[in-house]
Amino acid sequence: MPDQLIFAMEVTLNGLLNGVMYALVALGFVLIFKASGIFNYAQGVMALFAAMTLVGIQQGRVPFGHLINEIFGTDIHYFGWEVPALAAILLTALVMIGFAILAQRFVFRHLVGQEPIILFMATIGLAYFLEGVSDLMWGSEIRNLDVGLPQGINDSIDAVTFNLFGYGFFIDNLDITAAIVATVLVAGLIAFAQYTKQGRAMRAVADDHQAALSVGIKLNYVWVLVWSLAGIVALVAGIMWGSKSGVQFSLSLIALKALPVLMLGGFTSIPGAIIGGLIIGVGEALFEFAIGPMIGGATENWFAYVLALVFLVFRPQGLFGEKIIERV
Amino acid sequence: MFYREAGDFKTSYADDSQTFPIAFDRYRYYAVLAVALGIIPFVITDYWASAILIPFLIYAIAAIGLNILTGYCGQVSLGTGGFMAVGAYTSYKLMTAFPGMDMVTVTLLSGAMTAMVGVMFGLPSLRIKGFYLAVATLAAQFFLVWLFNKVPWFYNYSASGQITAPERLLFGHAVTGPNAEAWVKYLFCLAFVFVLAWVARNLTRGAMGRQWMAIRDMDIAAEIIGVNPLRAKLSAFAVSSFYVGVAGALLFTVYLGAVEVGEAYGIQKSFLVLFMIIIGGLGSLFGSFAGAAFMVLLPVALKVLLVDTMGWDTALATHFQFVIVGGLIMFFLIVEPHGLARLWSLAKEKLRLWPFPH
Instruction: Report d(CA B324, CA B66) in Å as an integer.
Output: 24
For B166, which DSSP code?
A: P
Residue-level pLDDT at B165: 78
Q: What are the pLDDT digits (tens) for A191-213?
A: 888 888 888 888 888 777 788 88
3-state secondary structure chain A: CCHHHHHHHHHHHHHHHHHHHHHHHHHHHHHHHHHHCCCCCCHHHHHHHHHHHHHHHHHCECCCHHHHHHHHCCCCCECCCCCCHHHHHHHHHHHHHHHHHHHHHHCHHHHCCCCHHHHHHHHHHHHHHHHHHHHHHHCCCCECCCCCCCCCECHHHHHHHHHHHCCCCCCEHHHHHHHHHHHHHHHHHHHHHHHCHHHHHHHHHHHCHHHHHHCCCCHHHHHHHHHHHHHHHHHHHHHHHHHHHCECHHHHHHHHHHHHHHHHHCCCCHHHHHHHHHHHHHHHHHHHHHCHHHHCCCHHHCHHHHHHHHHHHHCCCCCCCCCCCCCC
Residues in chain B with CB shorter than 8 Å from the CB of A295 are: 150
Which residues, 6 or more positions from B282, have their beta carbon under 8 angstroms from its beta carbon? B67, B70, B71, B338, B339
Pairing of strands B173-174, B169-170: antiparallel
Q: For B138, which residue in chain A has the nearest alpha carbon?
A: A305
Instruction: Report d(CA B50, CA B54) in Å as an integer.
Output: 6
Residues in chain B with CB shorter than 8 Å from the CB of A118 are: 278, 333, 337
**Which one, of A306, A311, A227, lies nearest residue A265 by Cα?**
A311
Residue-level pLDDT at A291: 75
Q: In which residue ranges of chain A is pLDDT below 50? A: none
User: Would you call B139 and A122 a contact, using CB atoms and an 8 Å cutoff?
Assistant: no
Res. B74: pLDDT tops 70: yes
User: Would you call B329 and A324 a contact, using CB atoms and an 8 Å cutoff?
Assistant: no
Residue-level pLDDT at B65: 93
Residues in chain B with CB shorter than 8 Å from the CB of A107 are: 330, 334
Which residues, 6 or more positions from B72, have their beta carbon under 8 angstroms from its beta carbon? B204, B209, B212, B213, B216, B236, B283
Q: Which of B135, B142, B330 sits opposite A129 (nearest CB)?
A: B330
Q: What are the pLDDT digits (tens) for B127-150?
A: 777 777 887 788 888 888 888 888
Instruction: Report d(CA B326, CA B163) in Å as an integer.
Output: 32
Overall average pLDDT of the B77-91 stretch: 91
Which of B223, B330, B335 would you mutate first to test chain A, the one with the most A CBs within 10 A? B330
Domain ranges of chain A: 3-257
Residue B173 DSSP SS3: strand
Res. B206: pLDDT tops 70: yes
Residue-level pLDDT at A1: 58
Q: Which of A117, A126, A324 sits opposite B326 (nearest CB)?
A: A126
Under 8 Å between Cβ of B245 and B113: yes
B29 and chain A in contact, CB less than 8 A:
no
Residues in chain B with CB shorter than 8 Å from the CB of A312 are: 124, 127-128, 132, 136
Which of B75, B120, B127, B142 would you mutate first to test chain A, the one with the most A CBs within 10 A? B142
Instruction: Report d(CA B339, CA B342) in Å as an integer.
Output: 6
**Which one, of A252, A240, A244, A282, lies nearest residue A264 by Cα?**
A282
Q: Which of residues 66-85 of B touch A (CB under 8 A)?
A: 76
Res. B1: pLDDT tops 60: no
B262 and chain A in contact, CB less than 8 A:
no
Q: Which of A132, A306, A312 sits opposite B143 (nearest CB)?
A: A306
User: Would you call A125 and B322 a contact, using CB atoms and an 8 Å cutoff?
Assistant: no
Report the complex ipTM: 0.79
For B71, which DSSP code?
A: I
Q: What are the pLDDT digits (tens) for B294-309?
A: 888 888 888 888 777 7
Instruction: Print burial letters for A257-268: b (CB count within 10 Å at least 16), e (below 16).
Output: bbbbbbbbbbbb
B310 and chain A in contact, CB less than 8 A:
no
Residues in chain A with CB shorter than 8 Å from the CB of B142 are: 301-302, 305
Name B173's bridge partners: B170
Instruction: Calculate Rg over the CA atoms of chain B.
Output: 21
Return mean pLDDT, chain B.
84
Res. B83: pLDDT tops 90: yes
Residues in chain B with CB shorter than 8 Å from the CB of A302 are: 139, 142-143, 146
Residue B164 DSSP SS3: strand
Instruction: Report d(CA B159, CA A37) in Å as an integer.
Output: 47
The distance of Cα B64 from the centroid of its chain, to the nearest Å, equals 4
Instruction: Report d(CA A90, CA B253) in Å as an integer.
Output: 53
Q: Which of A132, A298, A299 sits opposite B319 (nearest CB)?
A: A132
Residue type, A93: A
Q: Which residue has the higher pLDDT, B1 or B211?
A: B211
Instruction: Report d(CA A218, CA A272) in Å as an integer.
Output: 28
Which residues, 6 or more positions from A18, have their beta carbon under 8 angstroms from its beta carbon? A175, A281, A284, A285
Q: How confident is the model at residue B116 (pLDDT cuts 50, 70, 90)?
A: very high
B298 and chain A in contact, CB less than 8 A:
no
Instruction: Report d(CA B159, CA B163) in Å as an integer.
Output: 10
Instruction: Report d(CA B79, CA B262) in Å as an integer.
Output: 13
Q: How far apart are the CA of A264 and the nearest CA of chain B, in angstroms?
A: 10
Which residues, 6 or more positions from A156, have their beta carbon under 8 angstroms from its beta carbon? none
Q: How confident is the model at residue B87 (pLDDT cuts 50, 70, 90)?
A: very high
Q: How far apart are the CA of A297 and the nearest CA of chain B, in angstroms?
A: 8
Q: How confident is the model at residue B341 (pLDDT cuts 50, 70, 90)?
A: confident
Which residues, 6 or more positions from B300, have their beta carbon under 8 angstroms from its beta carbon? B51, B52
Q: How confident is the model at residue B243 (pLDDT cuts 50, 70, 90)?
A: very high
Residue-level pLDDT at A172: 76
